[in-house]
Amino acid sequence: MGSRTGLIGWFGIVVAIILLRGATAATVYEVGDSLGWTVPPNTSYYSAWASTKTFFLGDKLSFNWTTGTHTVAEVSKDEYDNCTKVSSYIGSPVIFTPPSTGSTFICTVDDRTRGQSWFSPSFQHQPLITA
């Protein structure tokens, strides 16, 4: 009887660990959903898209576009506001895991930095799980 109780206890611990790991697993978001990372139909498209999501630190943003037509760069607010020249990724797809809040993502092709292909998602800290 004692070994059976111990086995049930270990099973319960394993299930709890699996559930806790699943609760804090990172989510991968396809930026723009089916539209992808492109010139959107309006200037607020990506901001509106991001407003429908709850991003947590550790989540990943996947940027997909037709190679040769777009780029993506992660910039600070100051770099964006001052149009600072930045390095960008030119091959698709690119997956970012922002290290902190306050990132802005832009396309550096032509004048799209100030145009339509940019957004600044808000990342939250993972909630604490309490029993």
Structural domain contains residue 6: no
Average pLDDT of the residues in 33-57 = 90
pLDDT tens across 68-100, in order? Answer: 788 888 888 788 888 777 777 878 888 988 777
- pLDDT in the model for residue 8: 58
DSSP tag of 53: -
Domain residues for the domain of 71 are 27-124
Q: What is the DSSP letter of 101?
A: S
Domain CATH code at residue 114: 2.60.40.420
Question: What pLDDT band is residue 20 in, cutting at 50, 70 and 90?
Answer: very low
93-127 pLDDT per residue, tens: 889 887 777 778 888 887 655 556 777 887 777 76
Is 112 part of a structural domain of the chain?
A: yes
More reliable by pLDDT, 130 or 54: 54
Is 19 inside any structural domain?
no
- Assess if residue 55 is contained within a domain: yes
CA 29 vs CA 32, 42, 49, 94: distances in Å: 9, 20, 11, 12
Whether residue 37 lies inside any domain: the answer is: yes
